Amino acid sequence: MPLQFEYQPTQGVPEEAPVEPKKKRNINPVAAVVGVIRTNRPTNLDEEESELSVKKRRFRLIVAFGIVMSIVTFLISISISSGGIVPVTDAIAAMFSAIEKGGQNLTTVELYIYQSRLPRAIAAIGVGAGLAIAGCMYQAIIRNPLVDPYITGVSSGAGCFAVAIVALGVSIPFIGSNTLYIIPVAAIVGGLIAFAITMGVAEGSGGSASNYILAGVIVGFALSSVQTVFLSMAKDNLTNAMWWLYGSFANITWENAWIVMVPALGISLLAMVWAREFNLFMMGEDQAKQLGMNVKRFKRTMMIIASVLTALCVAFCGIIGFVGLIIPHACRMALGTDHRLIMPASIVLGACLMLFSDLIARTVLSPLELPVGAITAMIGTPIFAYMLVKRGREYDA
């Protein structure tokens, strides 16, 4: 008997929107900041409000909230130091009077603020924002949640060159051997050389995202081993070298604070121009191409921008881990995947985390100063673990 089967086209079963049970709102402090931005809707839910205007309002809130939060953190940061705590109002007054005096004939408080706290805070804002945005860019382009700004070997290259300078007392032509800029220049050069090698290998193998990771990892390993060799040769200068490798704002002065902050923050803000293109990348390269994007050129350009940004951040303050890996994820978990929201949020959160970490690094065990990279991880990990537990299930990264 021949096989018989029969089927009807599916019937018009109306698909009703499932009634979502009302969740009990238990306010917890960590989610509160996020919650204000996320659920910022009028209580009488206006269902006809367009998603677009919700998004725009969230953007405005992030910007406004971010500016306020940065200023508050900044003020707290300059009021407290190993020299003691001054009231915020006094700190502001002292800051302005010191700036007015141009750094001459300062009182004790003014001296503290003007000479040590202010430049550090300025640099911390730039570095925090820069690392967070670089991480955000890499994660979007490579589509891998484990990616951080150091994935292309920039940190290893920078570390290798910086340690060579510190440990061996090498001098660079035109700059000399003993100036403020010798380590930063070496670090930037080293970082960019490492990135160039990574890019050469990755593009030579077809330029796919995973090849970028592999190339970056092997270049990183190679340069780290060279760095280890230099470290073992360092002897007396070992402490100095280690200091740089764990990151610190101790060497920041007025001369170099602006060199870090202006380009780092500038590039971070500039990168937001391409937020929509980063969104497109979340669907994969074929889909981005299909929607009319020049994927290859975009990827290459953004890789270069992110690497320059990373090298710049690393150059003056050493290798500060964690911020670039975790901040973008935290923002994604809180705000979704739209880069128009998570990029400004990353800038703000990165800057604030860095300010706080620097504050703790220089006060907790004062007069001993701790490496700031260790502090960022110590503050950030519990917060991130909490968010991962809360939101990790629907975040299939």
Partner 1 sequence: MPEGKFRQYFSGGVQSQSAIAGDAVPSISSRIPADGTTLRIEHLCMNFEDHKAVRDVTYSLPKGKLVGLIGPNGCGKSTMMKCICKVHQMTSGKIYVGGQDISGMKPAEVSKLVASVPAEAGQTFGMTVMDMVMLGRYPFVDKIWWETEEDERVVREAMRTFGIDHLRRKKVSTLSSGERQRALIAKAYVQQPILMLVDEPTSHLDMKYKLDVMEYLKNMARNDMTVLVAEHDISLMARYCDLCVIMKKGQIVTIGDPKEVVTESLIRDVYEVDARVGLDVDGEIYVLPKKARWDNNPDEVHFGSQNGSYE
**Residue numbers 16-35 binding partner 1 by CB under 8 A:** 16-18
* Buried-state track 2-30, b at ≥16 Cβ within 10 A, e below 16: eeeeeeeeeeeeeeeeeeeeeeeeeeeee
Site for partner 1 contains 279 (CB under 8 A): yes
Q: Compute the distance between CA of residue 350 and CA of residue 50 in angstroms, rounded to an integer.
A: 30
Q: Compute the distance between CA of residue 349 and CA of residue 335 in angstroms, rounded to an integer.
A: 13
Count of positions on this chain that bind partner 1 (CB under 8 A): 50
8-state DSSP, 17: P
Cβ atoms of 138 and 148 within 8 Å: the answer is: yes
Site for partner 1 contains 336 (CB under 8 A): yes
Task: Among 269, 293, 304, 383, indicate the residue that binds partner 1 (CB under 8 A).
Answer: 293
Site for partner 1 contains 332 (CB under 8 A): yes
Q: Alpha carbon of 357 to those of 88, 206, 217, 293: distances in Å?
A: 19, 40, 28, 39
Cβ atoms of 322 and 132 within 8 Å: the answer is: no
Closest to partner 1 by CB, 20 vs 100, is: 20
Closest to partner 1 by CB, 112 vs 274, is: 274
Site for partner 1 contains 394 (CB under 8 A): yes
Task: Among 52, 173, 206, 368, indicate the residue that binds partner 1 (CB under 8 A).
Answer: 52
Least distance (Å) from partner 1 to the CB of residue 147?
12
Task: Among 129, 186, 241, 280, indicate the residue that binds partner 1 (CB under 8 A).
Answer: 280
Q: Alpha carbon of 316 to those of 137, 269, 319, 351: distances in Å?
A: 22, 20, 9, 16
Site for partner 1 contains 6 (CB under 8 A): yes
Instruction: Single out the segment in contact with partner 1 by CB under 8 A; choices: 23-31, 45-53, 70-78, 221-229.
Output: 45-53
User: Can you tell me whether residue 4 is helix, strand or coil?
Assistant: coil
Site for partner 1 contains 204 (CB under 8 A): no
Task: Among 286, 297, 367, 368, indicate the residue that binds partner 1 (CB under 8 A).
Answer: 286
Separation of CA 174 from chain center: 33
Range list of H helices, the chain: 29-38, 51-79, 88-101, 108-111, 118-142, 154-168, 182-204, 209-234, 238-246, 254-271, 275-281, 285-290, 295-317, 323-335, 339-363, 372-391
Q: Compute the distance between CA of residue 9 and CA of residue 95 in angstroms, rounded to an integer.
A: 75
Closest to partner 1 by CB, 1 vs 32, is: 1
Task: Among 283, 364, 365, 385, indicate the residue that binds partner 1 (CB under 8 A).
Answer: 283
Site for partner 1 contains 56 (CB under 8 A): yes
Task: Among 9, 29, 173, 206, indicate the residue that binds partner 1 (CB under 8 A).
Answer: 9
Instruction: Single out the segment in contact with partner 1 by CB under 8 A; choices: 47-55, 75-83, 130-138, 297-305.
Output: 47-55
Site for partner 1 contains 100 (CB under 8 A): no
Site for partner 1 contains 46 (CB under 8 A): no
Q: Residue 31, exposed/middle/buried by CB under 10 A (0-12, 13-18, 19+)?
A: middle
Site for partner 1 contains 206 (CB under 8 A): no
Q: Which two structure tokens, joined as six digits, stand for 198?
A: 């990574």
Q: Please give the residue ranges that form the binding site for partner 1 (CB under 8 A).
A: 2-7, 9-18, 50-52, 55-56, 143, 145, 273, 275-276, 279-280, 282-284, 286-287, 289-294, 332-333, 336-338, 340, 391, 394-397
